[in-house]
Amino acid sequence: MADQSNPVTDPATSAVARAAPLPGFPERGVPIFSGFNRLGLWTLYMKEVRRFFKVQTQTIWAPAMTTLLYLMIFTVAMGGSRNGGGGREVLGVPFASFIAPGLIVMGMVSNAFANTSFNFLAGKIQGTIVDYLMPPLSNVELMIGLIGAAVTRAVLVGLAIALAMLLWPGVTLYVSHPWAIVYFGLVGSTLLAIIGLITSLWAEKFDHAAMVTNFVITPMTMLSGTFYVIHNLSPTFQAVSRVNPFFYVISGFRFGFLGQSDIGATNAAVFNGALYLGLLTLVMGWVLYALLKSGWKLKS
């Protein structure tokens, strides 16, 4: 009897007991998600919204001012008159009204990318990445929270730009197809938010994110038909433009206002562009999920 070890005082027995999971509880260190964490998702979403809304002068109103400068410069350069109407028409409307929808959605997608390209990158640099990895949120919930906040910022930027343009002389914004405005605005912003998250996963310093912005995002938005119709380009560059997903975002959004665009003047013609954009967004979303699941450049 004296040789029997005491399970309470024996170190080896105590270590085994501490390591073994208790009945009814999961193994230690293995996260178990049962159901959808609505509260955690809402908390993450509101945290991200408050982060950019706290500096709304920079994140919402500054893009509206920049877009108005684009509108003013291009309308004057294309022969605009004092009242903003201008003498040139594109697709049967004044040039200012032609580029206005493209400028609105360009501001939306650019700010959606800017919002998410900061998330993981700032956490890795500042050492606060644990704030995203430790909460009881699945990868899908993490994606929804971060992308949802970015799309919210994009919508607010779009509304601010549209409001400013309504006050601009010579710009008329008619709503011809509301579904196209909503679909291309939201899906385009979602696509850029996903690309922004992938960028923040890959980047190791702010220069890397700036490189993607300057050499990928900005050229693709500028060369997507925002300020021109692609029919004026050579056949080779027309083919290149039709591969650019930003082209479908710009043209589809413009179709919602003008009822016509580079991809067609009917719902059936625009639907093909909407399908391509939707499929591309789903593919990029799956890529982001796979990267988050693997812990690529997050867990080392």
- 35-67 pLDDT tens trace: 788 999 999 999 999 999 999 999 999 999 999
Q: What is the DSSP string of 162-225?
A: HHHHHTSTT-----S-HHHHHHHHHHHHHHHHHHHHHHHHH-SSHHHHHHHIIIIIHHHHHTSS
pLDDT of residue 18: 55
Per-residue confidence band for 278, with pLDDT thresholds at 50, 70 and 90: very high
User: Range with the lowest mean pLDDT among 103-107, 124-128, 159-163, 285-289?
Assistant: 124-128
Instruction: Give mean pLDDT, residues 129-139.
Output: 89
Per-residue pLDDT averaged across 155-173, rounded? 89
Please tell me the predicted confidence (pLDDT) of residue 21: 60
Q: If pLDDT is split at 50, 70 and 90, which confidence band does 32 have?
A: low
Question: Please, what is the end-to-end C-alpha distance for the chain in angstroms?
Answer: 49
According to the model, what pLDDT value does residue 168 have?
A: 82
On the question of pLDDT at 20 being above 90, the answer is no
Distance from C-alpha of 144 to C-alpha of 190, rounded to nearest angstrom: 10
pLDDT at 17 over 80: no
Task: For the chain, give the mean pLDDT.
Answer: 86
264 phi/psi in degrees, rounded to 5 = 135, 170
Cα 296 to the center of its chain, rounded Å: 20
Contact of 184 with 252, CB cutoff 8 Å: yes
Mean pLDDT of 101-127: 92
| Residue boundaries of the structural domains of the chain | 34-294
Reported as a single tens digit per residue, the pLDDT across 62-110 is: 999 999 898 888 888 776 554 444 567 888 888 888 999 999 999 999 9
pLDDT at position 82: 47
Rg (CA), the chain: 25
Q: What is the pLDDT of residue 191?
A: 97
Whether the Cβ atoms of residue 168 and residue 71 lie closer than 8 Å to each other:
yes
Give Cα separations from 79 to 95, 96, 97, 268 (angstroms).
9, 11, 14, 35
The whole-number average pLDDT for the span 275-286 is 97
pLDDT at 170: 77
Supply φ then ψ for residue 6, to 5 degrees. -85, 120
Instruction: Name the DSSP class of 231.
Output: G
| pLDDT the model gives residue 192 | 97
pLDDT at 1 over 60: no
| pTM (global) more than 0.95 | no
